[in-house]
Chains A and B, each alone.
Chain A
Amino acid sequence: MRSILPVLTVLAIIVAIWQLAVAPMNIRTALDMAERGGAVVEPEGGRARLEVSSWRLMIDNPEHVAAGYSLDRPRLPTPAQVGEELWKGTGKMIERGRAWSKRSLIYHGWITLQSTLWGFALGTTLGLLGAVAIVYSRVVDMSLMPWAIISQTIPIVALAPMIIVLSGQLGIEDRIVPKAIISAYLCYFPVLVGMVKGLRSPGAHQLDLLHTYSATGLQGFLKLRVPASLPYLFTSLKIGIAAALVGTIVGELPTGAISGLGARILIGDQFGTPLAIWAALFAAAILAGVLVTLIDITQRIVLRSMGMQT
């Protein structure tokens, strides 16, 4: 609990910087609006103002700076505006009993969460299987590992449309499938790398000891390698689930999807509603935070029950 103060301090500093940044970011839009409303601003005309820096504009038109904090379509919304938009998309929707409407972030978050969890499950399974194969077979280690690394050097934005088109050609109607595949593509790698390290973490004398008991390979796996790898597994899972969420959102961007947080970001961009983009971004960040925290809590419970200090 003593850590709460530094955490809040850092949060306050970030919000303060954000709040201050709103003024220079929005001054041009604020002046445009004011001029359209009949006010005289310095210099006149949007084109002329492009030649002048934001700081100059703020100094020359101090009375219009405040207007930048209450624009409908700000370049950078204030923290309060984003909070309000988030509330409109979540709490208010619930109050009005419309949590599952197309305008509710809860609905879009749920769509995204679903493919994230499917992708996470698929990616984790692949990562675990790959790690076991790599640890137990030198041939697999040498043949599979380079491809795993190469797979992560390809930009997912380039790959995502191909996966979507391909799954469409294969006659897969369900939009969740390509999204889950993209999500799994990003998520398997940290699990694979972490678990290879984890399963290999027992030292030579640990393996020798089991050998003196004439333990079978399966016993060695279950009694030594698996428990020894658990701390590594949880660390990998935390990275993995965040990657899975990013994968899903990327998968929602180029598809013309109409639901999901990624789709909200895209639609917000197309319709020029920056508040919607920001609200969707924050919804995604909060979702990621919740997922990572859930894994963290699971990790604490599991490792503590195993007597390990966390």
Chain B
Amino acid sequence: MDASSSANDAAKWRSGTLLSGEDELASRKGGWRYTAPAKPAAPAPTVHVAVAADTPATGEGTAMAPVGAQEADAAEKDAVPLPPAVIEASALDLTFQTNDGPVHALKDVSLTIRKGDFVSFIGPSGCGKTTFLRSVAALEQPTGGTLTVNGMTPDEARRARAYGYVFQAAGLYPWRTIARNIQLPLEIMGYSRAERRTRTEDVLKLVELDGFANKYPWQLSGGMQQRASIARALAFDADILLMDEPFGALDEIVRDHLNEQLLKLWDRTGKTIGFVTHSIPEAVYLSTHIVVMSPRPGRITDVIESPLPRERPLDIRDTPEFLALAHRVREGLRAGHAYDD
């Protein structure tokens, strides 16, 4: 498939479904603010994404299968249009030159992430999950294969503000208030003062931090700081959210709470999310697709499509479906390790 048309599709898809019922002005003002005021006003994306998440449950890994298989699959069931591909990697290689010789961080990684997917990357240290995410963000240069984001090279996508990136450390500037921290990318990107203010208010509401705008980071708990850093990544309204172990440094209880919030946020905004984690329950709870990776060389060993519904209360984690899924992920991780020994 050709890149520019898929980008166009993405745009059409957004304007056709997400922005329906909103006038031009409103959509320009706040981007995705359509989601916050009127939940029933935007049922379309929910349905649309649900199609993506549900249909392939029968034919395993349609959306995520290696490129060749997926194209055949797509031709087979062209009756149900899949959401456009947002991130496409094919035969991606990345080798770091170190003093101890070359390290294969990524080897022959092929993956398609579609609009509205929530994709988790799980695997032991050194399996390349973070490297993959950083490559998508143009923070690393792949040494082979192709990688496109919204049909562009990662570098172009970065300049087109295609994604927001959330690091493990919240990394808020201690000399800026929460509101001013969230305005940082907006200042850099040259948004007007009024625009910056409305956007900041909006994203603070989205992460339930309204009322903390004028606090300094040290006045907030670790979980709240991480929420502020997510708000910062959302502020300039990128379609893609890349999260590198965002809750890794937080305790279990806070983590559960943030997982729940993140799902709601994803549901409301319809973003495409790439999420790196070490935690099997977290990956299974959050994702529509789980990418299991293994190290030396870093590669994908399994792509699991979640059969879980989009609405996920926390206690879904006690259901047999959830446990079976977690089991499969664990098996995948174990298989990757056995290769190692």
Which A positions have Cβ atoms within 8 angstroms of B?
A: 203, 205-206, 208-215, 219, 223-224, 227-228, 230, 306-309
Q: Are A223 and B167 in contact (CB under 8 A)?
A: no
Q: 8 closest Cβ contacts across the A-B interface? A: A306-B175, A307-B216, A212-B165, A213-B185, A215-B188, A213-B188, A205-B167, A227-B175
Given contacts A211-B139, A214-B159, A306-B175, 8 further A-B contacts (CB under 8 A): A203-B171, A212-B163, A213-B185, A213-B236, A224-B173, A227-B175, A308-B174, A308-B175
A306 to B177, CA, bound (A): 9
Residues of A within 8 A of B96 (CB): none
Q: Are A208 and B188 in contact (CB under 8 A)?
A: no
A308 to B218, CA, bound (A): 9
* Contact A227/B139 with A209-B167, A212-B158 known, Cβ cut-off 8 Å: no
Interface check B176, CB cutoff 8 A: yes
A309 to B216, CA, bound (A): 10
Interface check B60, CB cutoff 8 A: no
Summarize A's interface: helix, strand, loop or mixed.
helix
Q: How many B residues face the partner with a CB closer than 8 A?
A: 27
Which B positions have Cβ atoms within 8 angstroms of A?
A: 134, 137-139, 158-159, 161, 163-165, 167-169, 171, 173-177, 184-185, 187-189, 216, 218, 236
Name A205's contact: one of B159, B171, B176 (CB within 8 Å): B171
Closest to A306 in B: B175
Smallest beta-carbon distance A219→chain B, Å? 5
Residues of B within 8 A of A210 (CB): 188
Smallest beta-carbon distance A210→chain B, Å? 7
A213 to B183, CA, bound (A): 12
Residue picked from A209, A219, A230, A309, most chain B C-beta under 10 Å? A209
A307 to B137, CA, bound (A): 31
Residues of B within 8 A of A215 (CB): 188
Residues of A within 8 A of B167 (CB): 205, 208-209
Name B174's contact: one of A205, A214, A307 (CB within 8 Å): A307
Residues of A within 8 A of B174 (CB): 307-308
* Contact A307/B176 with A215-B188, A223-B187 known, Cβ cut-off 8 Å: yes
Closest to B185 in A: A213
Closest to A224 in B: B173
Smallest beta-carbon distance B183→chain A, Å? 11
Can you list 29 contacts pairing A with B, beta carbon distance less than 8 Å? A203-B169, A203-B171, A205-B167, A205-B168, A206-B171, A208-B139, A208-B165, A208-B167, A209-B167, A210-B188, A211-B138, A211-B158, A212-B164, A212-B165, A213-B184, A213-B185, A213-B188, A213-B236, A215-B188, A219-B188, A223-B184, A227-B173, A228-B173, A306-B175, A307-B174, A307-B175, A307-B176, A307-B216, A308-B174
Residues of A within 8 A of B177 (CB): 307
